[in-house]
């Protein structure tokens, strides 16, 4: 379970995230959908405990990330949009290192590493240096590192970027299996297509505020019922208006 109460982040006078309230229960893949600069990454980084909120509270399961950060972070696997990997470690060494950060070691970690490498079809790369991994392989390693300590919640920023169709399908299946076992996934995306393919419910975020929430179907109905601002947003999120504008410019 992930709960946000009046979550706010300001930079000087600029409000990047504006009093967001959100409850994502166990068993759901929840999507944060919004255009560039909407405040998605800022929100996810606050949930991960990397960025301090200006105001508001964040609960992961029963733990408040601000007052009980170690316990809250133990419940969370975070996959950032620009992940960092140590090039001079092998894949297995990298996962062992991350497991150690969470206080896990020994044979249980070795079993988990083998399980994750098999799942992502990376077993033959296990003892190769990360610098020799392709972009998609690094992405799979990062996802493995977020799962190494068996978290209850996964927070992931733009999960599909860099994955080939097979990798994308695998990730979708992994997230689905994860929530079916009682986990919680909160992911961000700027495309409606990804949200539709993966999420049970979504919130549309614009200029730091949640402007609509529900299932894609519910939001489509609101749009069809004449919510012009939502229709405009949907067009932008599917690339509609940009593509039209671009075509107009190019045909001049
Ligand atoms: P994208 O889809 O492009 O990644 P996003 O929805 O993740 O966008 P954020 O990265 O959360 O957007 O940024 C939200 C707003 O906050 C943007 O206008 C950004 O310029 C601003 N912002 C983010 N970090 C800082 C910072 N350190 N200082 C000042 N402004 C910032």
pLDDT in tens, 127-158: 999 999 998 899 899 999 999 999 999 999 98
Looking at beta carbons, which pairs linking 204-207 to residues 24 or more positions away fall under 8 Å? 204/33, 204/34, 204/230, 204/233, 204/237, 205/20, 205/32, 205/33, 205/34, 205/38, 205/39, 205/40, 205/43, 206/34, 206/35, 206/38, 206/233, 207/18, 207/38, 207/39
Please give the residue range of the domain that contains residue 213: 1-75+176-252
Mean pLDDT of the chain: 90
Give the three-state DSSP class for 81. Answer: coil
Overall domain count for the chain: 1
Spell out which residues line ligand 1, taking CB within 6 angstroms: 11, 14, 16, 34, 36-42, 190
24, 120, 176, 179, 199 from 173: Cα distances, Å: 19, 12, 5, 10, 12
Q: How far apart, in Å, do the first and last CA atoms of the chain sit?
A: 52
Residue 236 pLDDT > 80 = no
Residues 40-63: tens digit of each pLDDT: 999 999 999 999 999 999 999 989
Determine the residue of 10, 40, 52, 155 to mutate for testing ligand 1's pocket, defined as the one with the most ligand atoms within 8 A of the Cβ atom. 40
Does 51 reside within a domain? yes
Stretch 218-237: mean pLDDT: 72
Q: What pLDDT is attached to residue 247?
A: 65
Does 188 reside within a domain? yes
Q: What atom of ligand 1 comes closest to residue 14's alpha carbon? A: 30
Q: What pLDDT is attached to residue 220?
A: 79
Residue whose CA is at the smallest distance from ligand 1 atom 27: 11
Residue whose CA is at the smallest distance from ligand 1 atom 12: 37
Does 114 reside within a domain? no
Residue whose CA is at the smallest distance from ligand 1 atom 1: 36
Q: What atom of ligand 1 comes closest to residue 17's alpha carbon? A: 14
Residue 237 pLDDT > 70 = no
Does 11 reside within a domain? yes
Residue among 4, 68, 44, 36 at smallest CA distance from 154 = 44
**What CATH number is associated with residue 33?**
3.40.50.300
Could you tell me the distance, in angstroms and rounded to a whole number, from the CA of residue 48 to the centre of ligand 1?
16
Could you tell me the distance, in angstroms and rounded to a whole number, from the CA of residue 41 to the centre of ligand 1?
7
Does 122 reside within a domain? no
Could you tell me the distance, in angstroms and rounded to a whole number, from the CA of residue 40 to the centre of ligand 1?
8
Does 19 reside within a domain? yes
Tokens of 193: 């297509």
222 compared with 51, residue with greater pLDDT: 51
Residues 172-202: tens digit of each pLDDT: 888 998 999 999 999 999 888 888 889 999 9
Does 191 reside within a domain? yes
Residues 59-112: tens digit of each pLDDT: 999 899 999 999 999 999 999 988 889 999 999 999 999 999 999 999 999 999
Residue 251 pLDDT > 90 = no
Does 33 reside within a domain? yes
Q: Could you tell me how far CA 11 lies from the centroid of its own chain?
A: 23
Could you tell me the distance, in angstroms and rounded to a whole number, from the CA of residue 99 to the centre of ligand 1?
30
Residue 39 pLDDT > 70 = yes
Q: What pLDDT is attached to residue 103?
A: 94
Determine the residue of 15, 16, 188 to mutate for testing ligand 1's pocket, defined as the one with the most ligand atoms within 8 A of the Cβ atom. 16
Q: What pLDDT is attached to residue 45?
A: 97
Could you tell me the distance, in angstroms and rounded to a whole number, from the CA of residue 80 to the centre of ligand 1?
14
Q: What pLDDT is attached to residue 165?
A: 84
């Amino acid at each position: 379970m992930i709960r946000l109460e009046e979550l706010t982040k300001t930079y000087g006078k600029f409000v990047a995230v504006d009093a967001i309230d959100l409850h994502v229960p166990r068993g759901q893949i929840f999507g944060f959908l919004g255009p560039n600069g909407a405040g998605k990454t800022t929100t996810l980084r606050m949930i991960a405990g990397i960025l301090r909120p200006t105001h508001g509270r964040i609960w992961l399961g029963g733990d408040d990330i601000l007052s009980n950060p170690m316990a809250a972070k133990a419940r969370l696997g975070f996959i950032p949009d620009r992940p960092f990997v140590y090039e001079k470690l092998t894949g297995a060494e990298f996962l062992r290192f991350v497991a150690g950060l969470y206080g896990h070691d020994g044979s249980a970690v070795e079993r988990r590493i083998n399980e994750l490498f098999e799942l992502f079809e990376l077993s033959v790369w296990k003892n190769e240096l990360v610098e020799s991994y392709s972009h998609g392989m690094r992405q799979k390693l990062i996802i493995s590192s977020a799962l190494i300590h068996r978290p209850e919640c996964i927070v992931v920023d733009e999960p599909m970027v860099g994955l080939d169709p097979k990798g994308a399908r695998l990730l979708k299946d992994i997230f689905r299996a994860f929530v079916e076992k009682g986990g919680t996934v909160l992911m961000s995306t700027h495309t409606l297509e990804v949200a539709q393919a993966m999420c049970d419910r979504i919130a549309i975020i614009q200029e730091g505020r949640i402007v609509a929430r529900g299932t894609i179907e519910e939001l489509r109905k609101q749009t069809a019922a004449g919510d012009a601002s939502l229709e405009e947003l949907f067009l932008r999120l599917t690339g509609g208006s940009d593509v039209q504008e671009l075509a107009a410019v190019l045909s001049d």
